[in-house]
């Protein structure tokens, strides 16, 4: 059983998202360690892209900062073994748009991702009908190809859910990522429909930023993905994270926020 499959045996999965290279790749490794320390079961690591259609303003801004800092896909891939050598053991899912993969080459990307200890890949703008080549390559190289499913027709939900691997990312609402004050009224009904057809854990993302939302979703889904809210906390402390004497305090504050989302007491670094 691989690293991701072992973790997915758990209930109430906590899957945070951060953008690689925001504010730097060195700090990204420290953020991975902080997320792991605060109970992350899986981490989604975003590959910065200039036109991130699924992302709201917070993650778009993080992508721009990372690109301006010179972050590239090859650098991110090479960073992951370094993170592993420093103690990061949680599964890492690369969240990347399709265009960088077309430029890189699907086969080259998948082979390198597998070699560099990535556990899975999620491509939000690659339609289900066009994803089979990449999904097949991932399977052949021991990677999970993570599918996303949004509120849509029952027939399409069944098609996507029944073929999912790893876990299934259930989009709580249409639109882009970003914090929302209220969960959709019909979210439970949507998740119940998805779970009728899925053989893998169903986790919910988009808009989650409060402990009460996490607790509500845990009643009917297998876990939560939290992105924009965490990226916002990183953005607030971007300058401090790059200053050695201020970095520890900034990381501790981010860990405290993660602890609040998790409903756990944090400890000092």
pLDDT given at position 248: 97
CATH number at residue 245: 3.20.20.70
Q: Which residues have a Cβ under 8 Å from the Cβ of 47 and sit 6 or more positions away?
A: 20, 73, 76, 94, 95, 96, 97, 100
Q: Is the dihedral of CA 93, 40, 177, 174 positive or negative?
A: positive
| Look-up of token digits 């301006």 | 68
CA 37 to each of CA 21, 33, 42, 160, 266: distance values in angstroms, whole numbers, following the listed order: 20, 6, 12, 33, 10
Calpha distance 139→120 (Å, rounded): 10
Catalytic residue among 41, 55, 119, 222: 55
Classify residue 92: in a domain, yes or no.
yes
153, 159, 162, 167: CA torsion to nearest 10: -70
Classify residue 269: in a domain, yes or no.
no
Classify residue 4: in a domain, yes or no.
no
233 catalytic? Reply is: no
Catalytic residue among 22, 41, 44, 255: 44
Classify residue 162: in a domain, yes or no.
yes
User: What's the first-to-final CA gap in the chain, in angstroms?
Assistant: 33
Inform me whether the pLDDT recorded for 267 exceeds 70: no
Classify residue 1: in a domain, yes or no.
no
DSSP string, 20-43: TTSS-HHHHHHHHHHHHHTT-SSE
Classify residue 145: in a domain, yes or no.
yes
Number of domains in the chain: 1
Q: Tens digit of pLDDT for each residue in 231-254? A: 999 999 999 999 999 999 999 999
212 catalytic? Reply is: no
Inform me whether the pLDDT recorded for 266 exceeds 60: no
Tokens of 148: 């996303």
- Count the residues in the chain: 269
Classify residue 137: in a domain, yes or no.
yes
Full domain range(s) for residue 156: 12-262
Inform me whether the pLDDT recorded for 176 exceeds 60: no
| Three-state secondary structure call for residue 247 | helix
In 3D space, the residue among 186, 132, 114, 42 whose CA is nearest the CA of residue 123 turns out to be: 132
Q: Tens digit of pLDDT for each residue in 41-98? A: 999 999 999 987 778 899 999 999 999 999 999 999 999 999 999 999 999 999 999 9
What global pTM score does this model have? Answer: 0.94
Residue 222's Cα: distance from chain center in Å?
15
Classify residue 75: in a domain, yes or no.
yes
93 phi and psi angles, rounded to 5 deg: -105, 125
Q: At what angle do helices 187-197 and 154-162 cross, to 10 degrees?
A: 50
């Amino acid at each position: 059983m691989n690293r991701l499959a072992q973790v997915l045996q758990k209930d109430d999965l906590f899957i945070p998202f951060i953008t690689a290279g925001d504010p730097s790749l060195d700090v990204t490794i420290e953020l991975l360690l902080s997320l792991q320390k605060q109970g992350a079961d899986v981490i989604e690591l975003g590959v910065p892209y200039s036109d991130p259609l699924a992302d709201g303003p917070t993650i778009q801004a993080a992508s721009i900062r990372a690109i301006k800092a010179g972050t590239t896909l090859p650098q991110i891939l090479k960073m992951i073994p370094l993170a592993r050598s420093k103690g990061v053991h949680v599964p890492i899912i690369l969240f990347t748009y399709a265009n960088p993969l077309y430029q890189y080459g699907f086969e080259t990307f998948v082979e390198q991702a597998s070699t560099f200890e990535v556990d899975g890949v999620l491509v939000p703008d690659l339609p289900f009908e066009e994803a089979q080549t990449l999904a097949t390559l991932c399977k052949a190289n021991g990677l999970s190809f993570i599918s996303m499913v949004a509120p849509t027709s029952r027939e399409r939900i069944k098609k996507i859910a029944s073929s999912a691997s790893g876990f299934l990312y259930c989009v709580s609402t249409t639109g882009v990522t970003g914090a929302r004050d209220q969960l959709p009224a019909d979210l439970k009904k949507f998740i119940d429909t998805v779970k009728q057809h899925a053989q893998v854990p169903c986790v919910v993302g988009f808009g989650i930023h409060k402990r009460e939302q996490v607790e509500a979703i845990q009643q009917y889904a297998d876990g939560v993905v939290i992105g924009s809210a965490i990226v916002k906390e990183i953005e607030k402390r971007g300058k401090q994270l790059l200053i050695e004497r201020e970095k520890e305090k900034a990381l501790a504050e981010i860990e405290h926020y993660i602890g609040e989302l998790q409903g756990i007491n944090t400890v000092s670094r």
